[in-house]
Structure 1
């Protein structure tokens, strides 16, 4: 089974930059999107063979997730947990026979870490949610998780320490998640690989210079580790400030 996750930074804009060509090229069983910034009725496009599930934010043009899938899920739910987490369209859970798929767009902790307290609450509640799902069947958790976990996961760790996405607190929450029975698929296959990034600032020619961050992930329940066939970052794909990440599972 081939799964793709991509923060498209506005799907309507990405549609104008070759999104449908990408879908044909990727030939994935499931395509998970983050930061769609739209409601489904705001863009008409053909994607034959895929069912589409959308979770849009209450606020227009903000956040949002989508799951396009060839296989009809057993069930689909939107958001999770308490009311505070249910207004920004950040989570879609699709249940398949072998696993739960959780597509997530994690809240950014913002400049001066002004939203860090909420981010910490989100991380704890989402980890509890994933662990609860994991008691029933394995979990595939993917998306823009807005954290570079280790120094190897961004080009300039020293100068970015305590910036949003590389605060000690956010990194510790990722460590805690992985210690709770989950595996970062890319690092499982490539523990020492450097220069592997999924997001680049639009400033300072960051992408051209590969001064990026790895903040997009496929994370799976530990018991799926031996099913990982490949985990890739398709940095050559443009159309957004993020690139797609890809997971193949032998199910």
Structure 2
């Protein structure tokens, strides 16, 4: 059994200062953990966060300080890790890690936000298009694909508390949702919705105002997608709203894949 978690921590140093990150990691013991919006360089971290016992870590860092960034924590080292998509406009923001684990290739991604005034929407949609090309190339090369992270888009009305009021807000605009439609049309499976197609109130992000989290007025922005060949191995997919420390909560995927310590 292999357990994978993904969590937009909205600042790794901040969630660590709150006394949450390492306790949660030690208690949960994921085989693989993907973080987004780390907002730091590895040399800004204490040794216990940079190299927790039992974990290998890999980092993609933004050139802009305190912005974006993704990280990979794993109990077994990947066969290879690629930092970025190979596209400088996106890679300078530290948005992507591609790790080959043999049984599958895992892509950890922090998708751009279109911004409230929609000024970053073209940038976001270009990243999305190039990202889909990347994972399709992996599949055409014979690899099983898992991608996870903060996609910064709620796919369907069931995936946010107030869809009608947000039709023109970035994160739920038709052009953004249509991109996820294209991902699904290519055969990729949203693991949570595959198992729980009708579950309501299942959100992963809450605005940090007006007690949105306490009232569960949220959005489901964080996902695990898999290529269809991995469907028989899916044991569970879950959302963990009880884990605090960020405006996002972790999501997880459990696969019937043996690990070396089993």
Q: Where does 1:43-62 land on structure 2 (aligned, <5 Å)?
A: 43-46=45-48, 47-62=52-67
Deviation at 1:225, TM superposition (A): 1.0
User: C-alpha offsets along residues 108-152 of structure 1, whole Å, 9 cap, x if unaligned?
Assistant: 000121111111111111101011111221111000010000000
Deviation at 1:27, TM superposition (A): 1.1
Q: Greater shift after overlay, 233-242 or 79-88? A: 79-88
Unaligned runs of 5+ in 1: none
SS of the residue aligned with 1:232? strand
Unaligned runs of 5+ in 2: 258-262
- Other-structure match for 1:19: 21
- Other-structure match for 1:244: 250
- The CA distance in 2 between the partners of 1:25 and 1:166, in whole Å, is 34
Q: Greater shift after overlay, 22-31 or 207-216? A: 22-31
RMSD: 0.8
- The CA distance in 1 between the partners of 2:24 and 2:39, in whole Å, is 19
- Other-structure match for 1:204: 210
Deviation at 1:231, TM superposition (A): 0.3
- Other-structure match for 2:146: 140
1:28 aligns to 2:30 (yes or no): yes
User: C-alpha offsets along residues 152-179 of structure 1, whole Å, 9 cap, x if unaligned?
Assistant: 0000000011201011100000110111
1:164 aligns to 2:170 (yes or no): yes
SS of the residue aligned with 2:34? strand
- Other-structure match for 1:191: 197
Select 1:230's aligned residue among 212, 236, 241. Answer: 236
